[in-house]
Structure 1
Amino acid sequence: MTRTVFEKPDAIALVAEVFRELGYEGASMSSITARTGLSKGSLYHFFPGGKEEMAAEIMANIDAWFVTQMFRPLEENEPRAAIALMWETTNTYFRSGRRICLIGAFALDETRDRFAGAIQDYFKRWIEALTGALMRAGVGAAEARELAEEAVVGIQGALMLARALGNDAIFERTLERLKKRAETKLQ
């Protein structure tokens, strides 16, 4: 039975979960329709460019969410509060390690070449936004960059390992260690 979707954002959210589950290459139009309950007609109505347009729109949607919920606060708000919010937002968005980073997953397969600019921009902005917040909080430039890279690498690695081992606690422990390491530099 097909599902009724009234808005494009509804379709984006449904298709994103299929890509999280099957990956870009593994998600055929048949599997997308089966798992979302959307007809092919509905999918092509929202995404005339097919699967590639779906992935591009999903990545743009994820990026827009991160810009408003994490990157801008890191860039514009009081740095200590923004960094604290980043840890909470990260934990909430990735559902304490139960939800993979779709942009990170796209970076690991052939999809990377297709969407290289968007993937690079997402990770660069995260690192740069956190670096800037750390510097505004008094951490030296080189150390701030190192901490920011370590945080993003740690988050992405913990997501992958938690999923691979089926152990969400790995993500939670890693996030807590990264948070404590950053906090020691802010004092």
Structure 2
Amino acid sequence: MKTLYERADIIPLLAEIFRELGYEGASLSRITERTGIGKGSLYHFFPGGKEEMASAVLAEVDAWFEHAIYQPLREGDAHQAIAAMWTNVNDYFRSGGRICLVGAFALDETRERFSAAISDYFVRWIDALRSALMRAGCPEGEAQALAEEGVSGIQGALVLSRALDDRMVFTRSLDTLAKRLDAVMR
């Protein structure tokens, strides 16, 4: 029996392929091999080819972060939103077992192709965290520095956790970052 896919069903499959192989390593033949979806079907859903596939994946990542991270940080109770950020980030990145696709794209030749989406992801995260920190009582300059430290700390912990093949590095780093921000907000 043949499986029928919708475009939305394919995007998470593509995301994991791009995470594992990178943009350049994810050739159309490797994508079809790993998804089991023929080239014709992929082009039906993504007429722009691999670039459109990656753009769709980045848009889905962006939508998740907007809903689960940025919006609560911008609009919710600051303390609750920041606490939820640590939990949601840990869950999303599977306790350090899943790389940040946007971060990975930022580090290779793909950066130029998707520079607006990559920059926007990090700028919006820092701005949203800065906003929450300011609502929690931090002066603007300190909130900006802490927001940058928090986001860069998460990204660095992902890299280190993967490099050492030790998910506890990520979990410990999140705990340390959370305690640091919590102490400043008291």
Identity among equivalent positions (%) equals 60
Tell me, in whole angstroms, the C-alpha distance in 2 between the residues paired with 1:57 and 1:3.
24
Tell me, in whole angstroms, the C-alpha distance in 2 between the residues paired with 1:98 and 1:132.
29
The 8 Å contact of residues 3 and 38 in structure 1, kept in 2 or not, is answered as no
Tell me, in whole angstroms, the C-alpha distance in 1 between the residues paired with 2:136 and 2:114.
34
Tell me, in whole angstroms, the C-alpha distance in 1 between the residues paired with 2:119 and 2:136.
26
**Aligned with 2:99: secondary structure?**
coil
Tell me, in whole angstroms, the C-alpha distance in 1 between the residues paired with 2:32 and 2:20.
14
TM-score normalised by structure 1 residue count:
0.97
**Aligned with 1:48: secondary structure?**
coil
| Other-structure match for 1:29 | 28
| Other-structure match for 2:124 | 125
Aligned residues: 186
The 8 Å contact of residues 5 and 11 in structure 1, kept in 2 or not, is answered as no
Structure 1 residue 35 displacement after superposition: 1.0
- Residue 111 of structure 2 aligns to which amino acid in structure 1? R
- Residue 23 of structure 2 aligns to which amino acid in structure 1? Y
Q: Deviations over 1:69-109 (max 9, x none)?
A: 11000000111111111011100000000000000000000
Structure 1 residue 4 displacement after superposition: 2.2
Runs of 4+ off more than 4 Å: none
Structure 1 residue 6 displacement after superposition: 2.6
Tell me, in whole angstroms, the C-alpha distance in 2 between the residues paired with 1:106 and 1:116.
9
| Other-structure match for 2:82 | 83
Structure 1 residue 41 displacement after superposition: 1.3
| Other-structure match for 2:154 | 155
| Other-structure match for 2:165 | 166
**Aligned with 1:38: secondary structure?**
coil
- RMSD over equivalenced CA pairs, Å: 1.1
| Other-structure match for 1:181 | 180
Tell me, in whole angstroms, the C-alpha distance in 2 between the residues paired with 1:3 and 1:186.
55
- Residue 166 of structure 1 aligns to which amino acid in structure 2? D
TM-score normalised by structure 2 residue count:
0.97
Structure 1 residue 42 displacement after superposition: 1.4
Q: Which runs of structure 2 are paired with 1:16-165 in the superposition (5 Å)?
A: 16-165=15-164
